Amino acid sequence: MSFDHPSFGRIDESRTIIFDTTLRDGEQSPGFSMNLEEKLRMAESLSDLGVDVIEAGFPVASKGDFESVNEIAKVVRDSVVCALARSGGKNDIQAAGEAIAPAERGRIHNFISTSPLHMKYKLRMEPETVLEIITEGNRKARQYTDDVEWSAEDGSRTEPDFLCRCVEAAIRAGATTINIPDTVGYATPEDMERIFSMLRTRVPGADEVIFSAHNHNDLGLAVANTLASLRGGARQIECTINGIGERAGNAALEEIVMAIRTRHDQFPYRNRIVTEKLLRLSRMLATTTGFDVQPNKAIVGRNAFAHESGIHQDGVLKNAATYEIMMPESVGWSKSSLVMGKHSGRAAFRDKLVALGYGTLGDNQLNEAFSRFKDLADRKKVVYDEDIIALVDDEVRDHARIRFLSLEVSAGSKRQAEATLEIEVDGELVESTANGNGPVDAEFNAIRSAFPHEARLALYSVGAVTEGTDAQARTSVRLEEDGKLVDGQGADADTVVSAVRAYVHALNKLLVKRTRAEPEAIGA
Ligand code: KIV
Ligand code: ZN
Convert the pLDDT of each residue in 64-100 to its tens digit.
999 999 999 999 999 999 999 999 999 999 999 999 9
DSSP sequence for 215-234: EB-TTS-HHHHHHHHHHHT-
Of the candidates 269, 289, 309, which is a domain's last residue? Answer: 289
- How many Å lie between the centroid of ligand 1 and the Cα of residue 152? 8
In sequence order, the 6+-apart residues with CB closer than 8 A to the CB of 81 are 43, 53, 54, 56, 69, 72, 73, 100, 103, 105, 106, 107
CATH number of the domain bearing residue 447: 3.30.160.270
- How many Å lie between the centroid of ligand 2 and the Cα of residue 216? 6
- How many Å lie between the centroid of ligand 2 and the Cα of residue 432? 46
pLDDT on residue 300? 94
In a 3-state reduction of DSSP, which class is residue 477? strand
Q: Ligand 1: residues within 6 Å at CB?
A: 25, 111, 151, 153, 179, 181, 183, 214, 216
Answer yes or no: is 521 within a domain: no
Of the candidates 396, 419, 440, which is a domain's last residue? Answer: 396
Taking CA 191 as the corner, what is the angle to CA 190 and CA 196, rounded to the nearest 5 degrees?
A: 100
Neighbours of 316 (CB within 10 A): 15
Pairing of the two strands 402-410 and 148-153: unpaired
For ligand 1, what atom is nearest to the CA of residue 151? 7
Note whether 130 and 226 are same-domain residues: yes
**309 within 8 A of 256, measured Cβ to Cβ:** no
Note whether 352 and 372 are same-domain residues: yes
Distance (Å, rounded) from C-alpha 164 to C-alpha 167? Answer: 5
E strand or H helix at 60 = none
Return the bridge partners of 107, or none. Answer: 82
Number of domains comprising the chain:
4
Which stretches of the chain score pLDDT less than 70? 1, 307-310, 313, 335-339, 357-360, 381-382, 396-400, 512-524
Note whether 384 and 311 are same-domain residues: no
For ligand 1, what atom is nearest to the CA of residue 84? 6
Cα 480 to its chain centre, rounded Å, is 22
Distance from first CA to last CA of the chain, Å, rounded?
33
| DSSP-based helix, strand, coil % in the chain, nearest 5 | 45, 25, 35
What residues make up the domain containing 461?
402-514
pLDDT on residue 521? 38
Question: Of how many residues is the chain composed?
Answer: 524
pLDDT on residue 45? 95
- How many Å lie between the centroid of ligand 2 and the Cα of residue 253? 14
pLDDT on residue 246? 93
pLDDT on residue 310? 66
160-172 and 189-202 helices cross at what angle (nearest 10)? 50
